[in-house]
Copies of this chain bind each other. A is one copy, B any other.
Amino acid sequence: MASRIVNVGLVQQRSQHDKGKNVAHACEGIAEAVRQGATLVVLPELFATDYFCQTEDPKFFEWAEPLDGPTIAQVAEVARDLQVVVVTPLFERRARGLYHNSLVVLGSDGAQLGAYRKMHIPEDPQFCEKFYFTPGSQGFSPIQTPGACLGTLICWDQWFPEAARAMALAGAEILVYPTAIGWMPSEKELLGDAQLDAWRTVQRSHAIANGTFVVAVNRVGREASSVGEVEFWGHSFVCDPMGRVIAEAGEQEQVIVVPCDLELITEQRHWWPFFRDRRIDSYDGLLERWIDVKGR
The chain A residues found within 8 Å of chain B, CB to CB, are 119-122, 124, 135, 137, 139-140, 144, 149, 156, 159-163, 165-166, 169-171, 194, 197-198, 201-202, 204-206, 208-209, 242-244, 271-272, 274-275, 277-280, 282-291, 293, 295-296
Chain B residues near A137: list those with CB within 8 A: 282
Cα A264 to Cα B210 in complex, Å, equals 29
Chain B residues near A120: list those with CB within 8 A: 277-279
B156→A277 contact, CB < 8 A: yes
- Copies of the polypeptide in the assembly: 2
10 pairs from A and B in contact (CB 8 Å cutoff) = A159-B209, A159-B274, A169-B286, A169-B288, A194-B243, A198-B242, A201-B243, A204-B205, A205-B206, A284-B287
Chain B residues near A274: list those with CB within 8 A: 159-160
Q: Which of A271, A274, A282 has the most CB of B within 10 A?
A: A282
Chain B residues near A206: list those with CB within 8 A: 205
A285→B202 contact, CB < 8 A: no
A139→B285 contact, CB < 8 A: yes
